[in-house]
Amino acid sequence: MQNTTALPSYLDQSEQVRARFDAIKQRPVILDVKDLCKSYPSHQGTVEALRNVNFQIHRREFVCVIGPSGCGKSSLIRTLAGLETVTSGEILIDGKPVDGPGQDRGMVFQGYTLFPWLTVKKNVMFGLERAGKSKMEAESDALMWLDLVSLESFADHYPHQLSGGMKQRVAIARSLATQPRMLLMDEPFGALDAQTRTKMQSHLLDIWKNIDITVLFITHDLDEAVFLADRILVLKAHPGEVQELIEVPVPHPRSLDQLNSPEFLATRARVDELIHPPVNEEDELDISSRIIRLTNVNDNVI
């Protein structure tokens, strides 16, 4: 448990941070989500995954979405990607309604989604050639994007020859190569070990600084959300509704020594409070009475 008594409010912003948010709000809206509802039919009845979700993201903003398991994070990103239809409401990208997948949105998922039979370079070339580029153009573009993720020297390797972090860097290069307006990322670093994950977060921020891309990034890691985001969209579960859209008061550029700064800890504490509200003792399950003993009770090793 974090001791929050000495922390400032997460709503306090330095002049520099406030100026940055003022500038962001002046930029054009890239993503506009209006009264989005998403339900799934099931044998047990309708599952309401998202209810009346409203938010906007401005150009070159980095927004993280966080919430308990099953609160509809993947449903949100899949509807934004056009992989699922909306039940009601509207999604606009650059003012145009989303009605299916499109080149204006790139996606990176947690699972490694590279084609195992293609080299790293050909994985990145794939989307470029499909978008109509000649083989030569696609190859030179692919090498440029691989350079951006520092993997140019692995261009002729196959995915199985790469580490988990390297595979995700290729996946990022592949998504960015077709120059989408938005990058939609669903727990992309969820399967990586803690050290690789931290490196990937810094690497992603470096990439984001250097190109014109707007990012929506789903995570269930509180530190990751605060470290990466301009704003954090906190969802609650059953149904998934927006609890709060937090402006992260941690200044840019971000670095690992900010992880213990008062602003960082205050924001983290707020997100924690929203995601893990205090439990009513009467509602708490008596877990001890439910645990099935798998050992002989007389064989007490404790």
Residue number, 67 or 82, with CB nearest to Mg ion: 67
Closer residue to ligand ATP in complex, CB, 73/133: 73
Cβ of residue 294: shortest distance to ligand ATP, in angstroms? 27
Question: What are the DSSP calls for the chain, one per residue?
Answer: ----TT---TT---HHHHHHHHHHHHSPEEEEEEEEEEEEEETTEEEEEEEEEEEEEETT-EEEEE-STTSSHHHHHHHHHTSS--SEEEEEETTEE--S--TTEEEEESS--S-TTS-HHHHHHHHHHHTT--HHHHHHHHHHHHHHTT-GGGTTS-GGGS-HHHHHHHHHHHHHHT--SEEEEESTTTTS-HHHHHHHHHHHHHHHHHS--EEEEE-S-HHHHHHH-SEEEEEETTTBEEEEEEEP-PPSSP-GGGGGSHHHHHHHHHHHHHHSPPPPGGGS--GGGTPPP-S-TTS---
Residue 49 binding: pick among ligand ATP, Mg ion, none (C-beta 5-8 Å cut-off by kind): ligand ATP
Residues 103-142 that bind Mg ion (CB under 5 A): none
When the beta carbons of 186 and 263 are compared against ligand ATP, the nearer one is: 186
Contact 80, 98 (CB under 8 A): yes
Pairing state between β 214-218 and 62-66:
parallel
Task: Return the number of the residue (21 or 55) whose C-beta is nearest ligand ATP.
Answer: 55
Question: Of residues 70-89, which lie at the interface with Mg ion (CB under 5 A)?
Answer: 73-74
Out of Mg ion, ligand ATP, none, what residue 40 binds, judged by CB under 5 to 8 A for its kind, is ligand ATP
Q: How far is the CB of 161 from ligand ATP (least distance, A)?
A: 29
Q: How many residues bind Mg ion (CB under 5 A)?
A: 2
Kindly tell me which of 71 and 215 has the beta carbon lying closer to ligand ATP.
71
Residue 37, φ and ψ in degrees, nearest 5: -125, 140
Contact between 51 and 39 under an 8 Å Cβ cutoff? The reply is no
Q: Which is nearer to ligand ATP, 80 or 149 (CB)?
A: 80
Which is closer to ligand ATP, CB of 59 or CB of 220?
Answer: 220
Least distance in Å: CB of 40 to ligand ATP? 3
Residue 252: name its binding partner from ligand ATP, Mg ion, none (Cβ under 5 to 8 Å by kind): none
Q: Which stretch binds Mg ion (CB under 5 A): 68-76, 170-178, 225-233, 283-291?
A: 68-76
Stretch that binds Mg ion, among 39-47, 55-63, 69-77, 83-91 (CB under 5 A): 69-77
Which of ligand ATP, Mg ion, none lies near 42, with the C-beta cut-off 5 to 8 A by kind? ligand ATP
Judged by the rule CB under 6 A, the positions of this chain that interact with ligand ATP are 40, 42, 47, 49, 67, 69-75, 220
Which residues contribute to the site for Mg ion (CB under 5 A)? 73-74
